[in-house]
Amino acid sequence: MSDKEITIKLTKHAKFKITQRNIDLNDIKQVVLEPELTKPDKFDSSLIHFIRFIKGKFLRVIGRWESKKDLLVITAFYDRRLIRRNK
């Protein structure tokens, strides 16, 4: 899937948290398009966790597909719980 094929939408919460955490929207797109790991959410089966090691940290993006080309991002954060195994 290429960058031009998907649209990333942000909830109000996601916009606030991404700004607060100084996360670049291009990094979010990269994580969604080329995740190292994807996991279903434990509590909401419609949510997906996209995870990728980027800029020295693990970035976790949580969202749901609204259509084949539209992803609604709920939140994004640098996940300190994950440890890079290949240091």
Q: Are strands 70-78 and 7-10 parallel, antiparallel or unpaired?
A: parallel
Domain ranges of the chain: 3-78
Q: Which CATH class is domain 3-78?
A: alpha beta
The C-alpha angle 48, 41, 64, rounded to 5 degrees, equals 30
Q: Which of 46, 45, 6 is nearest to 25 (CA)?
A: 6
If you average pLDDT over every residue of the chain, what do you get? 91
pLDDT at 87 over 60: no
Considering the entire predicted model, what is its pTM?
0.87
pLDDT in tens, 50-65: 999 999 999 999 999 9
Distances 33 to 16, 20, 24, 71, 85 between C-alpha atoms, Å: 22, 23, 14, 11, 22
Q: Which pair of tokens denotes residue 30?
A: 């990269």
